[in-house]
Amino acid sequence: MSSSATEKARDIYIVGFRNQHAVENQAIKLLERQVGRLENYPEMRDRMHRHRGKPRTGQTPRGTSGAP
């Protein structure tokens, strides 16, 4: 692959990674807001707490700083 094609592929990958990170952060915030509204549904609240506590997938790919 040529240098420019490699750079373009890298740029596309980084944009996709940043988009994935943003979507994941939005989902976490949504879950946090929903948990606050579930005081009358303790089983559902506990389940959402467990789901929210799962490890995030946002690991920085090799060769990038991870900064937006």
pLDDT digits (tens, 9 = 90+) for 13-53: 999 999 999 999 998 898 888 888 888 888 988 888 787 76
Q: For the chain, how many helices (H) and strands (E)? A: 2, 0
- Which pair of structure tokens corresponds to residue 24? 């994941």
What local confidence, expressed as pLDDT, does residue 68 receive? 46
pTM for the whole structure: 0.57
